[in-house]
Amino acid sequence: MEHLSFLYDCLGYSCLTCSAVTGEGIATLKEMLQDKVTLFSGHSGVGKSTLLNRLVPEANVRTAEISAAHDTGQHTTTFSQLFDLPGGGSIIDTPGIKGFGTFDMEREEVGHYFREIFQIGRECRYSDCTHTHEPGCAVLQALEEHRIATSRYQSYLSMLEDKDEQKYRQGY
């Protein structure tokens, strides 16, 4: 867990460790959300609704145990709903996401959504580099030199594959 927050903090995404069960970090989270409109998003079973119930006890939304058979959530929340936060602001609880839609995005644009890949990719030889096999690819070079985390590059590749699959299904 710590290495994940370190990785994302370094990339400029601020991380907060909290638990709806132990109450760790909840006071800080409350302060961060005050007077803002916030949307909870993530896979099924990560605890979005449990966190909402902790922050807005009157919400009293349904939560469910992780499925023992599949070790995944059970898609308990089925529609998005907005709740007022005591003192101002609101939270939108959403159903668990099944995948990350990359519609309306060209293959070479996927890297634009990964901060470090976007930044380093500006030094690639080709402006439409996909950072997979091209000569003079600054991203592959950075990966080799551990300036880009393997986990992030793997996520990038899996999104590229998703894209290819979508194109295939649409018959392009």
Ligand X SMILES: Nc1nc2c(ncn2[C@@H]2O[C@H](COP(=O)(O)OP(=O)(O)OP(=O)(O)O)[C@@H](O)[C@H]2O)c(=O)[nH]1
The window from 26-34, 71-79, 133-141, 164-172 that contacts Mg ion (CB under 5 A) reads 71-79
Asked whether 143 and 153 are in contact (CB, 8 A), the reply is yes
Min dist CB 144 to ligand X, Å, is 37
Min dist CB 68 to ligand X, Å, is 11
Question: For residues 96 and 111, which CB has a smaller minimum distance to ligand X in the complex?
Answer: 96
Min dist CB 169 to ligand X, Å, is 25
Does 53 contact Mg ion by CB under 5 A? Answer: no
Tokens found for residue 27: 């006071």
Phi and psi torsions of 40, nearest 5°: -90, 125
How far apart CA 29 and CA 32 sit, in angstroms, is: 5
Contact of residue 139 among Mg ion, Zn ion, ligand X, none (CB under 5-8 Å per partner type): Zn ion
How far apart CA 54 and CA 70 sit, in angstroms, is: 26
Provide CB contacts within 8 A for 66, sequence distance 6+: 45, 72, 73, 74
Burial, 120: exposed, middle or buried (Cβ in 10 Å; 0-12, 13-18, 19+)? buried
Contact of residue 64 among Zn ion, ligand X, Mg ion, none (CB under 5-8 Å per partner type): ligand X
- Residue list 76-95, contact with Mg ion (CB under 5 A): 76-77
> Of the candidates 116, 160, 112, 107, which has an alpha carbon nearest to the alpha carbon of residue 138?
116
Does 49 contact Mg ion by CB under 5 A? Answer: yes
Query: Mapping DSSP to helix (H, G, I), strand (E, B) and coil, where does residue 161 land?
Result: helix
Min dist CB 45 to Mg ion, Å, is 8
User: Where on the chain is the footprint of ligand X (CB under 6 A)?
Assistant: 19-21, 44-50, 63-66, 73-77, 95-96
User: Where on the chain is the footprint of Zn ion (CB under 5 A)?
Assistant: 124, 129, 131, 137, 139
Residue numbers of the site for Mg ion (CB under 5 A)? 48-49, 76-77
